[in-house]
Amino acid sequence: MQNKEYIETIAMYLRLSKDDINKEESESITNQRKIIKKYIEEHFIYKQCLEYVDDGYTGTNFDRPAFKEMIKDIENKNIKLVITKNLARFARDYIDSGEYIERIFPNNRVRFIAIMDNVDNFEESVSNEFMPIKGVFNEVHCRDTSKAVKKSKRKKMHEGFYACTTPPYGYKKSETVEGKLEIDDEAAVIVRMIFQMKASGKTQSEITEYLNMSNIKTPIDYLNVKGLEKVKNKNIWRRSTVNRILSNKTYLGHTIRGGTQSISYKGKNRLYIRREDRIITYNTHEPVVPQELFDRVHTSKYGAHMSVSNINVILKDLVYCDNCGAKMIIKKVREKYIIYCPKNAESKELCSNSTKMYYHKIENEALKKIVDYYNSHININVFKDKLLKKYIQNKVDGLEKYKKQLQKQLASVNFKISQIYNERLSEEIDNEQYKKVYTELTNERRQIDNDLTAVDEKIFGYTHKEERSIEKNKQEIYKIIDKIAEKKYSRDDIIKLIRRIRIDNNKIIFDYNFSNY
């Protein structure tokens, strides 16, 4: 019998995704646990064996609670060995899993074993060399599964099947026909009232105020009574809520789906789809409001409401409400720009700051304050010892961020090279295609390597500034002050000197960069 190795603390990692639940027992948590425990008893003597289980979580990303807890324990030096049944149980993303197995774990002196794949990152073996190839197959499996699920969902969308967890306010899910909406009489009365008030000339703000004063339950509050949702400030009607109700064609009896689309099967980020590109199935359920009333709301002079303009101004995204902390809205009204708190516009219950000011008044005062502040507070020592240190650090941080992007691109190119190699081995492509793609990828890799070298040189240059360079940057800041005084400034000039502007009750408060000096 072989000698057993002593390991102080072993981590067993087990994972089962929702897609695996209906598969054979071999993928179950119970079976994974059995295989790992048997392996541990045959090969190791240990002081402590910890178990981390993610039941019902995908392997395409690492947003899993038990996995995060295990990594935290590894960073705290509490784990020496991680064991999984196979690589697919650990992760199905080749690039990210390789980052953990080949860099993060070794850097923390943690050994990783995938039993069924014969992978051990502390030993040199043929199985370790084939780990990237197995990662490719795991990714292909996830991609194909994602495509099949997406195809099935879109088919149901075109059939008018309503699959969302929460029905629109005014409807409830049918208890007899799956995927069908039925009118909720209690809530539908409120929906009709909102449409009728709008058609009679009431503004969204007036409708919102009436609903709040009448203590009518909001959609979220109403659904919470039904046991569906729990949300902060659920008992306050907002203007945006009324807008969503008035623009929702579901109330005409149509099912509208496909409002968002996932960017990649590996992540949770989604893109919003334009209204005209969404899937609409007509006459799938009973309408709450008639077409005539819906059209009257949207074609009358009362139905149209001014949207916030995409205004390009110097102080855009720098002005905040000092009462609630929300970023203030800048809107063009009759050739003038007005600035106000969006939460107060939603409902006075959310924010009491009803201040409305002309934007240019704020900009003019901001510019005067900036010049006065920096002329009276900044001296040469501040620039040398603190201001320029921060200036240089910002430059380095930006380059470090770009460097990480390049490193990720490099990993992606290496993955593609591995993938095209596997396709050549399996004769999915001929030798001529392989050489062409391989040449393109290696050229791209060479360019990324050159870019990484250039970035490293720039970082070195910024972190080894000489006195002459410091004096040059000091003069650059003084030039910005002069440009502001002469009204020849740009937005980039402003954001180097001012952090944010806060407004409340017609008072303007400026937060400057480096104001603690």
Condensed to tens digits (0 to 9), the pLDDT of residues 295-310 reads 888 875 444 443 444 5
- CA distances for 453 relative to 95, 392, 402, 415, 417, angstroms: 22, 19, 12, 21, 21
**pLDDT tens, 332-373?**
777 788 898 988 888 888 888 888 888 888 888 888 877 777
Three-state DSSP class for residue 348: coil
pTM: 0.42
Distance CA 173, CA 185 (A): 13
Q: What angle do CA 105, 21, 15 make, to 5 degrees?
A: 10
As a whole-number percent, the residues of the chain with pLDDT over 70 amount to 73
**pLDDT tens, 22-39?**
554 457 899 999 999 999
Q: Per mean pLDDT, which range of 181-190, 229-238, 455-464 is the poorest? A: 229-238
Three-state DSSP class for residue 151: helix
Please check the confidence at residue 516 and state whether its pLDDT lies above 50.
no
Domains annotated on the chain, with CATH: 5-143 (3.40.50.1390), 171-299 (3.90.1750), 307-517 (no CATH)
Please check the confidence at residue 227 and state whether its pLDDT lies above 60.
no
pLDDT (0 to 100) of residue 305: 40
What are the start-end ranges of the E strands in 287-362? 319-321, 329-333, 336-340, 356-358
**pLDDT tens, 449-482?**
999 999 988 888 777 654 455 566 566 667 777 7
Please check the confidence at residue 243 and state whether its pLDDT lies above 70.
yes
Please list the residues that pair with 6 across neighbouring strands.
Answer: 45
- pLDDT-derived band at 240 (thresholds 50, 70, 90) equals confident
